[in-house]
């Protein structure tokens, strides 16, 4: 709590009262903490691939270039780490773009065909799905129309579908459903994958939070995907939630109001 006081005086400089301002700065402190943590996390996330790239370039310059096999292997690693850097930066830019949009004005929404939106999102994930022979099933009425920002919502769905595929076993099915429920449009993405223990669920939508960092990195994750989904849901005045059972699977649900 911050306390500030000022004496009030009349024209003859006589004390006639005082004003005391009590400021609750817990919220300000909390935001400062979040910002500092964020900067520390970003730096750490960027530093890991940069350190690796630097190390392999030095090894190449120190003589590994002379062995074509070693050289090819190290250059492949450098390429992978560069792609990773690119991926993190792209996700960070997406987050800041959405934040900026929602701080200044409300996002632009248009009546969109929801089935079409699901199809586009599924197509964008098709490459990864084919690699694991995962089938993406769409479950939505053909003529469902709702006011959304198509490109943002597509991005949120891509992130959820992509995760569902990533954390599913080979030859499995991911189901994407959308339906109207009273005054809401409800999107859900379900998988029969590894699931998430209850104790990890509360922090899942935080930036850079990952249940298993090593595994997420190996699968090409940045830990920003679900933070982006949360932002996009909130920008629509909606929410995102998760239900998950270890070894059974997970369902992520975005609920967006269709009336104001």
* Residue 105: both structure tokens together: 């004005």
CA distances from 108 to 52, 90, 153, 243 (A): 41, 22, 12, 30
Nearest approach, Cβ of residue 211 and ligand ADP (Å): 3
Stretch that binds ligand ADP, among 30-38, 74-82, 104-112, 204-212 (CB under 6 A): 204-212
Give the contacts of 220 (CB within 8 A, at least 6 positions apart). 84, 87, 166
Question: Applying CB under 6 A, which of residues 95, 148, 158, 167 lies at the interface with ligand ADP?
Answer: 167
Pick 38 or 209: Cβ nearer ligand ADP = 209
User: Closest by alpha carbon to 153, among 180, 116, 190, 127?
Assistant: 116
Q: How big is the site for ligand ADP, counted in residues (CB under 6 A)?
A: 22
Pick 97 or 213: Cβ nearer ligand ADP = 213
Pick 140 or 194: Cβ nearer ligand ADP = 194
* Residue 76: both structure tokens together: 């492949």
Does 190 interact with ligand ADP (rule: CB under 6 A)?
no
Question: Applying CB under 6 A, which of residues 81, 94, 155, 163 lies at the interface with ligand ADP?
Answer: 163
Question: Applying CB under 6 A, which of residues 117, 121, 155, 225 lies at the interface with ligand ADP?
Answer: 225
Q: Please count the other Cβ atoms lying within 10 Å of the Cβ belonging to residue 178.
A: 23
Does 95 interact with ligand ADP (rule: CB under 6 A)?
no
- DSSP states along 38-93: HHHHHHHHHHHHHHHHHHHHHHHHTTGGGSHHHHHHHHHHHHHHHHHHHHHHHHHH
Does 212 interact with ligand ADP (rule: CB under 6 A)?
yes
Does 86 interact with ligand ADP (rule: CB under 6 A)?
no
- Mask for 103-142, x = binds ligand ADP (CB under 6 A): ----------------------------------------
Q: Angle formed by the axes of helices 225-235 and 68-104, to 10°?
A: 20
Residues that bind ligand ADP (CB under 6 A): 163-164, 167, 191, 193-196, 204, 209-212, 216, 221-227, 250
């Amino acid at each position: 709590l911050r306390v500030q006081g000022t004496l009030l005086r009349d024209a003859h400089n006589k004390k006639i009262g005082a004003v005391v301002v009590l400021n609750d700065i817990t919220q300000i402190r909390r935001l400062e903490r979040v910002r500092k943590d964020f900067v520390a996390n970003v730096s750490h996330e960027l530093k890991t691939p940069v350190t690796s790239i630097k190390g392999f370039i030095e090894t190449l310059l120190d003589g590994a270039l002379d062995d074509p096999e070693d050289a090819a292997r190290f250059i492949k690693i450098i390429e992978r780490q560069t792609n990773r850097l690119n991926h993190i930066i792209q996700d960070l830019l997406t987050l800041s773009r959405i934040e900026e949009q929602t701080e200044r004005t409300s996002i632009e929404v248009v009546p969109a065909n929801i089935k079409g939106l699901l199809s586009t999102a599924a197509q964008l994930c098709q490459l990864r799905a084919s690699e694991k022979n995962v089938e993406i099933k769409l479950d939505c009425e053909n003529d469902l129309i709702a006011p959304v920002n198509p490109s943002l919502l597509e991005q949120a769905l891509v992130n959820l579908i992509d995760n569902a595929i990533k954390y599913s076993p080979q030859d499995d099915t991911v189901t994407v459903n959308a339906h109207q429920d009273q005054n809401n449009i409800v999107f859900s993405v379900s998988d029969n994958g590894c699931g998430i223990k209850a104790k990890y669920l509360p922090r899942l939508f935080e930036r850079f939070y990952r249940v298993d960092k090593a595994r997420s990195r190996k699968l090409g994750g940045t830990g920003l995907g679900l933070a982006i989904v949360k932002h996009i849901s909130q920008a629509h005045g909606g929410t995102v939630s998760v239900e998950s059972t270890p070894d059974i699977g997970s369902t992520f649900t975005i609920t967006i109001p269709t009336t104001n």
